[in-house]
Amino acid sequence: MRISPADAGGGILFCRTDLKPELKVRANIQHVRSDELRQTALVVGEGVIRTVEHLMAAFHGLGVDNALVEVEGDEIPAMDGSAREFAEVFIRTGLVEQDAERQYLEIKSPVFVDHGDQSIVMLPADHLEISYTLSYRHSDLKDQFLSLRIIPEIFERELASARTFCLKDEAQLLLSQGFGKGANLTNTLVFEQNSPIDNTLRYDNEACRHKIMDLLGDLYLGGHFVKGHIIANRSGHNLNVEFVRKMLMSAEKNPPSIPETLNVQDIQKIIPHRYPFLFVDRIEQFKPGVSAVGFKQVSSNDYFFQGHFPGHPVMPGVLIIEAMAQVGGVIMLSKPENRDKIAYFMSIDSAKFRQPVVPGHELRMEVEVVKIRAKTGQCVGRAYVGDKLVCEAEVKFAVVDQ
């Protein structure tokens, strides 16, 4: 396995170097293979990558937004049965801050799945906290409980070293069925009478800590860092995955509220444009899916004046239309069903340029949606300098997945 940096916004990507190295699949719930036992697997093209949960926990716990994981074979290396070696190498190598805002998955009301003796509940919170009860009601493993707020320092100290485990009778059954061939007493704690066979615990409640780590890894399959208080009882990978699906449905029904005024950082969370091709400084009177007013301060330092009439600087008309279109893109892509998508031009109609725009002017762009469908949208935009209309146009977009 080889892990490399990835571009901002790329997420956690996996590929099988022994199958199709060019095929990179994002680690999210849509690619989870549902018929796997006691671990989490991702479908990658015609292959699969098993046991991704410990690595995903290290990414989630240490705050890694973007990475490319190249795997030769169908399983992440087991290491010592924990995430310790992954965490150590990430910390030793170092993380790089990228020029993008972190995205979070949040809810506004409680979400839960309940299967009787197994359950997960999520309550709204402004941070991530996991409270876990491990109760097998079995003489080989006593009940355990732990509650932790998840930040990188706590993950490294309290969770990363917790190893995978099972009960002695479970181990015997799994081996008889042909599972667990790579497991041994050094990378798996096998409990008998509340103690691991031929091994020593790193924590008194190591089994509970490992369950929190597994849950942390599975939660990251929501595609973003999670904010909320998770209260889990005896959950396993299948229940974790079921919960993530329900959590995503709830988050889509209750998206984070968007303020009426957006700054550059807010705008960059919605559309992919960046310097030097972001032509909107702020947005006011913002009504997602309906209308907005955008502003652009035209400066002599803008790059296009270096070659566009340098002796008589005039902002190119096509860039005024582009600026209005970017405001239109923010309006459309702010709708919950269009999050993480891209708007492409389909057509520009009825464009008229009425006044020149020069350095020192502030463009005010009033844009409204006149038609919006599942995969297309049409906007009307008018750009002003003061009370003078300088440009107007109708633009049509295609909304597509990234």
Residue 400 confidence class, pLDDT cut points 50, 70, 90? confident
In a domain, 345, yes or no: yes
The question of whether 273 is a catalytic residue gets the answer no
Q: Does residue 231 sit in the same domain as residue 141?
A: yes
Looking at per-residue confidence, does 38 or 150 come out higher? Answer: 150
In a domain, 188, yes or no: yes
CA 268 to chain centre: 15
Q: Which residues contact 273 (CB under 8 A, 6 or more apart)?
A: 279, 326
Q: Does residue 268 sit in the same domain as residue 246?
A: no
pLDDT (0 to 100) of residue 5: 94
Q: Where is 250: in which H helix or E strand? A: helix 237-253
Domain at 376, CATH number: 3.10.129.10
Q: What would the mean pLDDT of 315-343 be, rounded to a whole number?
A: 90
Q: Where is 239: in which H helix or E strand? A: helix 237-253
pLDDT (0 to 100) of residue 177: 66
Q: Where is 252: in which H helix or E strand? A: helix 237-253
Question: Total structural domains in the chain?
Answer: 2
Which residue from 358, 391, 364, 395 is spatially nearest to 380, judged by alpha carbons? 395
Q: Does residue 196 sit in the same domain as residue 274?
A: no
pLDDT digits (tens, 9 = 90+) for 78-116: 999 999 999 999 999 999 998 878 889 999 899 999 998
The tokens describing 258, both together, are 């968007």
Q: Which of 253, 281, 305 is at the close of a domain? A: 253
| Torsion sign (Cα): 337, 373, 331, 299 | positive
pLDDT digits (tens, 9 = 90+) for 188-247: 899 999 999 999 999 999 999 999 999 999 999 999 999 999 999 999 999 999 999 999
| Torsion sign (Cα): 50, 200, 92, 220 | positive
Expressed as residue numbers, the domain containing 42 is 2-253
Contact indicator for 128, 231 with CB cutoff of 8 Å? no
Domain at 209, CATH number: 3.30.1700.10
pLDDT (0 to 100) of residue 253: 58
Q: Does residue 162 sit in the same domain as residue 290?
A: no
The tokens describing 173, both together, are 């059954």
Q: Which of 221, 253, 285 is at the close of a domain? A: 253
Q: Does residue 63 sit in the same domain as residue 135?
A: yes
CA gap 31, 52 in Å, rounded: 12
Q: Does residue 240 sit in the same domain as residue 273?
A: no
Residue ranges of alpha helices (H) inside 200-286 are 206-219, 237-253, 264-270
pLDDT (0 to 100) of residue 291: 93
Given the residues 31, 138, 273, 308, select the one marked as catalytic.
Answer: 308
Beta bridge partners of 14: 25, 69
Q: Which residues contact 157 (CB under 8 A, 6 or more apart)?
A: none
Asked if pLDDT for residue 175 goes beyond 80, the answer is no
Looking at per-residue confidence, does 279 or 308 come out higher? Answer: 279
Prior bond to 276 cis, omega within 30?
yes
Provide the 10 A C-beta neighbour count for residue 117.
Answer: 10
pLDDT (0 to 100) of residue 179: 61
Average pLDDT, the chain: 91
Q: Does residue 127 sit in the same domain as residue 194?
A: yes
In a domain, 259, yes or no: no
pLDDT digits (tens, 9 = 90+) for 242-279: 999 999 988 865 555 667 899 998 899 899 999 899 99
Provide the 10 A C-beta neighbour count for residue 175.
Answer: 12
Q: Does residue 95 sit in the same domain as residue 203?
A: yes
The question of whether 308 is a catalytic residue gets the answer yes
Q: Which residues contact 5 (CB under 8 A, 6 or more apart)?
A: 66, 67, 68, 96
Q: Does residue 112 sit in the same domain as residue 167?
A: yes
CA gap 267, 171 in Å, rounded: 52
Q: Does residue 77 sit in the same domain as residue 178?
A: yes
Provide the 10 A C-beta neighbour count for residue 43.
Answer: 15
In a domain, 195, yes or no: yes
Q: Does residue 238 sit in the same domain as residue 351?
A: no
Contact indicator for 150, 62 with CB cutoff of 8 Å? no
Q: What would the mean pLDDT of 138-161 be, rounded to a whole number?
A: 96
Query: Greatest CA separation found in the chain?
Result: 86
Q: Which of 189, 218, 253 is at the close of a domain? A: 253
Given the residues 60, 237, 273, 361, select the one marked as catalytic.
Answer: 237
Q: Does residue 295 sit in the same domain as residue 231?
A: no
pLDDT (0 to 100) of residue 316: 95
Residue 74 confidence class, pLDDT cut points 50, 70, 90? very high
In a domain, 258, yes or no: no
In a domain, 225, yes or no: yes
